């Protein structure tokens, strides 16, 4: 049974490998690319791998937070986990669609995504 870290590494290596394969496929099928074509492909692939890294790190944070509900930002009571919701935070690497844990405070009757 691989450790959680090994599983995370395997996911990232797999993503990196698919990016590398795509670059090589493109290179094989594009005999004489000009500089702007090369830039376009490389930036696109870099963006994809950057997003995978962001998702991986955010996913690990979420897993740590899932054990106990975070405190309500208003009243400090432990909030209840209400399931995963899709969000698309804008990061400098681009828009990364991820699932985040959503929590609800029974006292304040409001829902929050924990900060992060």
| Rounded (10°) angle between helices 35-65 and 4-29 | 170
Q: Which is nearer to Zn ion, 98 or 108 (CB)?
A: 108
Helix (H) or strand (E) holding 61: helix 35-65
Distances (CA, A) of 12 to 54, 66, 115: 11, 22, 25
Q: Which is nearer to Zn ion, 49 or 112 (CB)?
A: 112
CB of 19 to Zn ion, least distance (A): 43
Size of the site for Zn ion (CB under 5 A): 6
Q: Which of 107, 111, 113, 116 binds Zn ion (CB under 5 A)?
A: 107
Q: Is 75 one of the binding residues for Zn ion (CB under 5 A)?
A: yes
Build a one-symbol-per-residue string for 2-41: x at contacts with Zn ion by CB under 5 A, - elsewhere: ----------------------------------------
Q: Which is nearer to Zn ion, 37 or 107 (CB)?
A: 107
Helix (H) or strand (E) holding 83: strand 80-87
Q: Is 63 one of the binding residues for Zn ion (CB under 5 A)?
A: no
Q: Which two tokens stand for residue 68?
A: 């106990």
Whose structure tokens read 């950057």? 50
Q: Would you state the torsion angle of the CA atoms of residues 52, 56, 59, 64, taken in this order, to the nearest 10 degrees?
A: -170
Residues that bind Zn ion (CB under 5 A): 72, 74-75, 105, 107-108
């Amino acid at each position: 049974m691989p450790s959680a870290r090994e599983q995370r590494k395997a996911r990232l290596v797999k993503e990196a490998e698919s990016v590398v394969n795509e670059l090589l496929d493109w290179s094989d099928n594009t005999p004489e690319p000009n500089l702007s074509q090369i830039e376009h492909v490389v930036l696109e692939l870099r963006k994809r791998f950057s997003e995978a890294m962001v998702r991986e790190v955010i996913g690990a944070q979420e897993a740590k937070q899932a054990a106990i509900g975070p405190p309500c930002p208003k009243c400090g009571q432990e909030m209840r986990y209400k399931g995963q919701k899709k969000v698309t935070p804008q990061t400098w690497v681009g828009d990364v669609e991820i699932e985040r844990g959503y929590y609800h405070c029974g006292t304040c009757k409001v829902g929050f995504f924990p900060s992060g």
